[in-house]
Protein backbone atom coordinates (compact mmCIF):
# COMPACT_ATOMS: atom_id res chain seq x y z
CA UNK A 1 0.00 0.00 0.00
CA UNK A 2 1.25 3.48 -0.83
CA UNK A 3 2.11 5.61 2.18
CA UNK A 4 0.52 8.92 1.38
CA UNK A 5 3.30 11.16 2.59
CA UNK A 6 5.75 9.46 0.24
CA UNK A 7 5.87 11.65 -2.86
CA UNK A 8 4.70 9.92 -6.01
CA UNK A 9 7.29 9.94 -8.81
CA UNK A 10 5.96 10.71 -12.29
CA UNK A 11 5.92 7.72 -14.64
CA UNK A 12 7.01 9.52 -17.79
CA UNK A 13 9.49 8.34 -20.39
CA UNK A 14 10.36 12.00 -21.01
CA UNK A 15 9.73 14.21 -17.92
CA UNK A 16 9.37 17.30 -20.15
CA UNK A 17 6.68 15.75 -22.36
CA UNK A 18 3.12 16.54 -21.23
CA UNK A 19 0.35 13.94 -21.24
CA UNK A 20 -2.90 15.11 -22.80
CA UNK A 21 -5.80 15.58 -20.37
CA UNK A 22 -9.34 16.56 -21.31
CA UNK A 23 -11.28 19.15 -19.33
CA UNK A 24 -14.45 17.53 -17.99
CA UNK A 25 -15.85 20.38 -15.96
CA UNK A 26 -15.06 23.97 -15.00
CA UNK A 27 -16.54 25.42 -11.80
CA UNK A 28 -16.25 29.00 -10.66
CA UNK A 29 -15.40 29.05 -6.95
CA UNK A 30 -15.14 32.82 -6.44
CA UNK A 31 -14.88 35.91 -8.66
CA UNK A 32 -11.25 35.15 -9.55
CA UNK A 33 -10.90 31.46 -8.68
CA UNK A 34 -12.07 28.36 -10.51
CA UNK A 35 -11.64 24.57 -10.35
CA UNK A 36 -11.17 22.34 -13.39
CA UNK A 37 -11.74 18.58 -13.41
CA UNK A 38 -9.50 16.77 -15.90
CA UNK A 39 -8.94 13.16 -17.01
CA UNK A 40 -6.58 11.58 -19.56
CA UNK A 41 -7.72 12.34 -23.12
CA UNK A 42 -7.02 8.72 -24.15
CA UNK A 43 -9.44 7.38 -21.51
CA UNK A 44 -6.61 5.95 -19.37
CA UNK A 45 -6.14 6.29 -15.62
CA UNK A 46 -5.40 9.60 -13.95
CA UNK A 47 -1.92 9.89 -12.49
CA UNK A 48 -1.50 9.00 -8.79
CA UNK A 49 -0.34 11.67 -6.37
CA UNK A 50 0.21 12.36 -2.69
CA UNK A 51 -1.44 15.28 -0.80
CA UNK A 52 0.51 18.50 -1.43
CA UNK A 53 2.03 17.51 -4.77
CA UNK A 54 1.55 19.61 -7.90
CA UNK A 55 1.32 19.24 -11.67
CA UNK A 56 2.78 21.39 -14.41
CA UNK A 57 -0.33 22.34 -16.42
CA UNK A 58 0.26 23.38 -20.01
CA UNK A 59 -2.24 25.60 -21.81
CA UNK A 60 -1.37 25.14 -25.45
CA UNK A 61 -0.05 28.27 -27.14
CA UNK A 62 0.09 30.15 -23.85
CA UNK A 63 2.41 28.50 -21.33
CA UNK A 64 2.94 26.03 -18.52
CA UNK A 65 2.56 26.66 -14.77
CA UNK A 66 2.66 24.70 -11.50
CA UNK A 67 -0.74 24.07 -9.90
CA UNK A 68 -1.37 21.89 -6.83
CA UNK A 69 -3.72 18.95 -7.16
CA UNK A 70 -6.72 19.62 -4.93
CA UNK A 71 -8.74 16.39 -5.29
CA UNK A 72 -8.75 13.26 -3.11
CA UNK A 73 -5.64 11.13 -3.79
CA UNK A 74 -7.65 7.98 -3.05
CA UNK A 75 -10.13 8.68 -5.86
CA UNK A 76 -9.21 7.25 -9.24
CA UNK A 77 -10.26 10.47 -10.97
CA UNK A 78 -10.81 13.10 -12.22
CA UNK A 79 -7.98 15.34 -11.00
CA UNK A 80 -9.02 18.75 -9.72
CA UNK A 81 -6.88 21.90 -9.96
CA UNK A 82 -8.17 25.02 -8.18
CA UNK A 83 -6.60 28.15 -9.59
CA UNK A 84 -6.70 31.89 -9.02
CA UNK A 85 -6.48 33.91 -12.23
CA UNK A 86 -3.54 36.29 -11.73
CA UNK A 87 -1.73 36.50 -15.08
CA UNK A 88 -1.30 35.23 -18.61
CA UNK A 89 -1.53 31.47 -18.14
CA UNK A 90 -4.04 31.41 -15.30
CA UNK A 91 -6.33 33.82 -17.24
CA UNK A 92 -6.16 31.47 -20.24
CA UNK A 93 -6.95 28.56 -17.91
CA UNK A 94 -10.00 30.44 -16.65
CA UNK A 95 -11.34 30.47 -20.22
CA UNK A 96 -11.13 26.67 -20.65
CA UNK A 97 -14.37 24.84 -21.32
CA UNK A 98 -15.42 21.18 -21.06
CA UNK A 99 -13.89 19.26 -23.97
CA UNK A 100 -10.73 21.38 -24.23
CA UNK A 101 -7.38 19.63 -23.94
CA UNK A 102 -4.46 20.63 -21.69
CA UNK A 103 -1.01 19.14 -21.16
CA UNK A 104 -0.07 17.72 -17.77
CA UNK A 105 3.35 16.77 -16.36
CA UNK A 106 3.57 15.37 -12.87
CA UNK A 107 3.05 14.80 -10.09
CA UNK A 108 6.02 16.70 -8.71
CA UNK A 109 7.32 17.72 -5.32
CA UNK A 110 7.13 16.64 -1.71
CA UNK A 111 3.94 15.83 0.21
CA UNK A 112 2.20 16.78 3.46
CA UNK A 113 3.16 14.42 6.33
CA UNK A 114 -0.27 12.79 6.55
CA UNK A 115 1.11 9.40 7.64
CA UNK A 116 3.63 10.80 10.13
CA UNK A 117 0.84 12.84 11.78
CA UNK A 118 -1.09 9.73 12.87
CA UNK A 119 -1.88 9.58 16.59
CA UNK A 120 -1.17 13.33 16.84
CA UNK A 121 -3.33 16.44 16.76
CA UNK A 122 -3.34 18.03 13.31
CA UNK A 123 -3.71 21.73 12.61
CA UNK A 124 -4.18 22.90 9.03
CA UNK A 125 -3.67 26.64 8.54
CA UNK A 126 -4.81 27.93 5.15
CA UNK A 127 -4.68 31.42 3.68
CA UNK A 128 -6.69 32.14 0.51
CA UNK A 129 -5.94 29.74 -2.35
CA UNK A 130 -3.68 27.87 0.14
CA UNK A 131 -6.73 25.83 1.10
CA UNK A 132 -6.52 24.03 -2.28
CA UNK A 133 -3.19 22.22 -1.68
CA UNK A 134 -4.34 21.30 1.85
CA UNK A 135 -7.65 19.78 0.74
CA UNK A 136 -6.13 16.40 -0.29
CA UNK A 137 -4.56 16.13 3.20
CA UNK A 138 -7.95 16.86 4.78
CA UNK A 139 -9.61 14.17 2.64
CA UNK A 140 -7.07 11.55 3.76
CA UNK A 141 -7.20 12.55 7.43
CA UNK A 142 -11.02 12.44 7.45
CA UNK A 143 -11.01 9.04 5.71
CA UNK A 144 -9.10 7.66 8.72
CA UNK A 145 -10.35 10.09 11.32
CA UNK A 146 -9.86 7.65 14.24
CA UNK A 147 -6.11 7.53 13.59
CA UNK A 148 -5.70 11.19 14.58
CA UNK A 149 -6.21 13.27 17.71
CA UNK A 150 -7.88 16.63 17.34
CA UNK A 151 -8.20 17.88 13.78
CA UNK A 152 -8.42 21.66 13.37
CA UNK A 153 -8.74 23.75 10.21
CA UNK A 154 -8.00 27.46 10.45
CA UNK A 155 -8.89 29.23 7.22
CA UNK A 156 -8.50 32.90 6.33
CA UNK A 157 -10.02 34.50 3.22
CA UNK A 158 -9.86 38.12 2.05
CA UNK A 159 -13.65 38.65 2.23
CA UNK A 160 -16.67 36.33 2.72
CA UNK A 161 -17.16 36.11 -1.05
CA UNK A 162 -13.53 34.98 -1.51
CA UNK A 163 -14.11 31.83 0.56
CA UNK A 164 -13.24 28.65 -1.35
CA UNK A 165 -15.18 25.37 -1.21
CA UNK A 166 -18.10 26.90 0.74
CA UNK A 167 -20.35 23.84 0.49
CA UNK A 168 -17.54 21.54 1.52
CA UNK A 169 -16.68 23.73 4.50
CA UNK A 170 -20.32 23.43 5.60
CA UNK A 171 -20.14 19.63 5.27
CA UNK A 172 -16.91 19.53 7.24
CA UNK A 173 -18.44 21.77 9.91
CA UNK A 174 -21.11 19.12 10.40
CA UNK A 175 -18.40 16.65 11.57
CA UNK A 176 -18.57 16.82 15.35
CA UNK A 177 -14.94 15.69 15.58
CA UNK A 178 -13.54 18.42 13.34
CA UNK A 179 -12.93 22.02 14.48
CA UNK A 180 -13.22 24.57 11.70
CA UNK A 181 -12.56 28.26 12.23
CA UNK A 182 -12.91 30.74 9.40
CA UNK A 183 -11.89 34.38 9.42
CA UNK A 184 -11.93 37.14 6.81
CA UNK A 185 -9.68 40.18 6.43
CA UNK A 186 -12.61 42.46 5.60
CA UNK A 187 -16.36 42.01 5.97
CA UNK A 188 -19.57 43.95 5.81
CA UNK A 189 -23.32 43.25 5.88
CA UNK A 190 -24.42 39.88 7.15
CA UNK A 191 -21.03 38.41 8.13
CA UNK A 192 -21.18 37.29 11.76
CA UNK A 193 -17.91 35.37 11.88
CA UNK A 194 -14.33 36.23 12.78
CA UNK A 195 -12.59 39.23 11.26
CA UNK A 196 -8.79 39.49 11.18
CA UNK A 197 -5.83 37.51 9.94
CA UNK A 198 -5.83 33.74 10.28
CA UNK A 199 -2.81 33.95 12.60
CA UNK A 200 -5.13 35.46 15.25
CA UNK A 201 -7.00 32.15 15.47
CA UNK A 202 -3.90 30.16 16.45
CA UNK A 203 -3.66 31.19 20.15
CA UNK A 204 -7.21 29.96 20.93
CA UNK A 205 -7.50 26.93 18.64
CA UNK A 206 -8.21 23.66 20.50
CA UNK A 207 -5.11 21.47 20.08
CA UNK A 208 -2.34 20.14 22.29
CA UNK A 209 0.84 21.84 21.01
CA UNK A 210 3.08 19.16 22.51
CA UNK A 211 1.70 16.55 20.14
CA UNK A 212 0.65 18.62 17.13
CA UNK A 213 1.66 18.47 13.49
CA UNK A 214 0.88 21.72 11.65
CA UNK A 215 0.49 22.06 7.89
CA UNK A 216 0.46 25.65 6.64
CA UNK A 217 -0.21 27.00 3.15
CA UNK A 218 -0.80 30.55 1.99
CA UNK A 219 1.10 33.72 1.13
CA UNK A 220 4.68 33.64 2.40
CA UNK A 221 4.19 36.36 5.05
CA UNK A 222 1.10 34.60 6.39
CA UNK A 223 3.06 31.34 6.65
CA UNK A 224 5.96 32.98 8.48
CA UNK A 225 3.63 34.61 11.05
CA UNK A 226 1.64 31.38 11.38
CA UNK A 227 4.81 29.41 12.09
CA UNK A 228 5.85 31.98 14.70
CA UNK A 229 2.41 31.85 16.40
CA UNK A 230 2.44 28.05 16.35
CA UNK A 231 5.87 28.06 17.97
CA UNK A 232 4.63 30.55 20.59
CA UNK A 233 1.82 28.11 21.38
CA UNK A 234 4.48 25.43 21.93
CA UNK A 235 4.37 23.51 18.65
CA UNK A 236 7.87 22.22 17.90
CA UNK A 237 9.42 23.85 14.81
CA UNK A 238 10.19 20.46 13.25
CA UNK A 239 6.48 19.60 13.42
CA UNK A 240 5.51 22.66 11.36
CA UNK A 241 5.34 22.16 7.57
CA UNK A 242 4.95 24.94 5.00
CA UNK A 243 4.34 24.82 1.24
CA UNK A 244 6.49 27.31 -0.68
CA UNK A 245 5.83 28.91 -4.06
CA UNK A 246 8.47 29.94 -6.57
CA UNK A 247 8.32 30.48 -10.32
CA UNK A 248 8.95 27.22 -12.13
CA UNK A 249 9.87 26.17 -15.62
CA UNK A 250 11.09 22.56 -15.61
CA UNK A 251 9.94 21.11 -12.24
CA UNK A 252 12.74 18.53 -12.46
CA UNK A 253 15.65 20.54 -10.97
CA UNK A 254 17.24 21.38 -14.31
CA UNK A 255 16.50 25.04 -15.11
CA UNK A 256 17.24 26.63 -11.71
CA UNK A 257 14.19 28.92 -11.81
CA UNK A 258 12.87 27.77 -8.45
CA UNK A 259 16.16 27.93 -6.58
CA UNK A 260 15.64 28.59 -2.89
CA UNK A 261 18.99 29.03 -1.12
CA UNK A 262 20.77 25.70 -1.49
CA UNK A 263 17.45 23.99 -2.43
CA UNK A 264 15.04 23.81 -5.34
CA UNK A 265 11.36 24.17 -4.57
CA UNK A 266 10.35 21.78 -7.39
CA UNK A 267 12.32 18.84 -5.97
CA UNK A 268 13.07 19.61 -2.30
CA UNK A 269 9.60 21.20 -1.80
CA UNK A 270 7.03 22.59 -2.14
CA UNK A 271 6.35 21.13 1.35
CA UNK A 272 9.27 21.90 3.69
CA UNK A 273 9.81 21.52 7.41
CA UNK A 274 9.93 25.00 8.93
CA UNK A 275 13.50 24.82 10.34
CA UNK A 276 14.87 24.00 6.87
CA UNK A 277 13.58 27.26 5.39
CA UNK A 278 13.11 29.65 8.31
CA UNK A 279 16.16 31.79 7.42
CA UNK A 280 15.21 31.99 3.72
CA UNK A 281 11.57 33.00 4.01
CA UNK A 282 10.33 36.29 2.56
CA UNK A 283 13.42 36.67 0.41
CA UNK A 284 12.47 36.77 -3.27
CA UNK A 285 15.92 36.07 -4.70
CA UNK A 286 17.76 33.43 -2.68
Residue 160 makes contact with ligand FAD by CB under 6 A:
no
Shortest Å, Cβ 265 to ligand FAD: 6
Asked if residue 143 binds ligand FES (CB under 6 A), the reply is no
Residue 83's binding partner among ligand FAD, ligand FES, none (Cβ under 5 to 8 angstroms by kind) is: ligand FAD
Task: Give the shortest CB-207-to-ligand FAD separation in angstroms.
Answer: 26
Which option in ligand FES, ligand FAD, none does residue 273 bind, with CB closer than 5 to 8 A by kind? none
Q: Which residues contact 194 (CB under 8 A, 6 or more apart)?
A: 181, 182, 183, 184, 200, 201
Out of ligand FAD, ligand FES, none, what residue 131 binds, judged by CB under 5 to 8 A for its kind, is none
270 cis-preceded (ω within 30 degrees of 0) = yes
Segments of 101-226 assigned E as strands: 101-108, 121-127, 151-157, 179-184, 194-195, 212-217
The answer to whether the beta carbons of residues 82 and 93 sit under 8 Å apart is no
Taking alpha carbons only, the member of 252, 268, 270 closest to residue 16 is 252
In degrees and rounded to multiples of 5, residue 52 shows phi and psi of: 105, -15
Binding ligand FAD (rule: CB under 6 A), the pick from 3, 6, 88, 168 is 88
Q: Rule CB under 6 A: is residue 244 a binding residue for ligand FES?
A: no
Q: Which is nearer to ligand FES, 87 or 193 (CB)?
A: 87
Phi/psi class of residue 62: alpha, beta or left (left: φ > 0; alpha: ψ in -120 to 50)?
Answer: alpha
Rule CB under 6 A: is residue 247 a binding residue for ligand FAD? yes
d(CA 242, CA 45): 30
Asked whether the beta carbons of 184 and 194 are under 8 A apart, the reply is yes
Stretch that binds ligand FES, among 74-82, 125-133, 155-163, 249-257 (CB under 6 A): 249-257
Q: Which residue is nearest to ligand FAD (CB)?
A: 87
Residue in 255, 280, 281, 286 binding ligand FES, rule: CB under 6 A = 255
Minimal distance, residue 35 CB to ligand FAD, in Å: 10
| Segment interacting with ligand FES (CB under 6 A) among 173-181, 189-197, 208-216, 258-266 | 258-266
38 counts as binding ligand FES under rule CB under 6 A? no
Residue 243 pairs in a beta bridge with 271
Q: Could you tell which of ligand FES, ligand FAD, none binds residue 161, using a CB distance below 5 to 8 A set by kind?
A: none
Answer yes or no: are the C-beta atoms of 38 and 84 closer than 8 Å: no
Of 237, 208, 6, the residue nearest 107 (C-alpha) = 6
Q: What residue ranges bind ligand FES (CB under 6 A)? A: 248-251, 253-258, 264, 266
Amino acid sequence: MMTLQTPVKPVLSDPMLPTLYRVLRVRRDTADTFSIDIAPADGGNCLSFAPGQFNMVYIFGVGEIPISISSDPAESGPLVHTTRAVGTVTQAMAELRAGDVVGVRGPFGTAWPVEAARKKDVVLVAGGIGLAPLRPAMYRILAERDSYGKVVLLYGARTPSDMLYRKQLEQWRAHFDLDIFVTVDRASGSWRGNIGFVTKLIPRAPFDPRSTVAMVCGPEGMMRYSAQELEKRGVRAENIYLSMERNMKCAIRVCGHCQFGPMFVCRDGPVFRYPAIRALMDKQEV
